[in-house]
Amino acid sequence: MISLAKLYRFPAVFFNSLGQNVVKAHRRYIRQLKKGHTGKRFVKYTTAYEKRKAAGKAAPNQISKSTAPDLTLTGKMLNSLRLIVAEPNGFRYGITDPKEAAKLEGNQTGIFGRNIREGKKRIISSENHAVPPEIREMIMEEMSKQVVRQITTELKKNKMGFKVYTI
């Protein structure tokens, strides 16, 4: 008899691997596609900031001169985005460094230093959109593949068949 509970119980090692891949994909999504949590591009920089960034004078340790908002000035904030915990029922990732977390929070709320610009929010994750649409699709595909692997294992173990290809 095949246990349906076993088919949909994912091992923590699966969520550890998936979580690591999601973190990398989310960073790449922000840096390369320059999009936020809903799949839309980030709000443009102010003209003055755009000029400073292009000239390499926006920050002491500046690595990016991109004038398209990609949340990469020094690279430290996005590089600090990491997997926090993988559990049998999922994973959590984020920023644990208080300094870098404060930068992200400023981008999420539109508060940059002493300037408050509600219209300049650059949100990478929210309660309704924890990950961008493309990454959500990647997660669902990986979970589907894992279910197929687990069904195949159960079928072989119970001598009921050989391989499931898709669901």
pLDDT at 90: 92
pLDDT of residue 75: 94
Q: Is residue 147 part of a domain?
A: no
Q: Is residue 110 part of a domain?
A: yes
Number of domains in the chain: 1
Structural domain includes residue 121? yes
Distances (CA, A) of 120 to 45, 46, 55, 117: 8, 9, 21, 5
Report the run of H or E that residue 103 belongs to, with start and end: helix 98-109
User: DSSP 3-state helix, strand, coil percentages of the chain (rounded to 5)?
Assistant: 45, 10, 45
Residue 150: what pLDDT? 86
160 inside domain? no
DSSP 90: E
pLDDT of residue 1: 65
**Is residue 148 within 8 Å of 8, Cβ to Cβ?**
no
Pair of tokens at residue 49? 């900031």
User: Which residues form the domain of 45?
Assistant: 12-131
How far CA 137 is from CA of 107, 110, 133, in Å, comes to 25, 28, 6
Please list the pLDDT of the chain residue by residue as tens digits (167 residues).
666 777 778 888 999 999 999 999 999 999 999 999 999 999 998 899 999 999 999 999 999 999 999 999 999 999 999 999 999 889 999 999 999 999 999 999 988 777 777 788 999 999 899 999 999 999 999 999 998 888 888 888 877 766 655 55
Which of 7, 14, 1 lies closest to 164 in space, CA to CA?
7
Task: Assess if residue 53 is contained within a domain.
Answer: yes
Give the separation between CA 35 and CA 131, rounded to whole angstroms: 11
Question: What's residue 4's pLDDT?
Answer: 73
Whether 108 maps to a domain, the answer reads yes
pLDDT reported for residue 158:
75
What pLDDT does residue 53 have?
94
The closest alpha carbon to 25, from 81, 88, 85, 90, belongs to 81
The answer to whether the pTM exceeds 0.75 is: yes
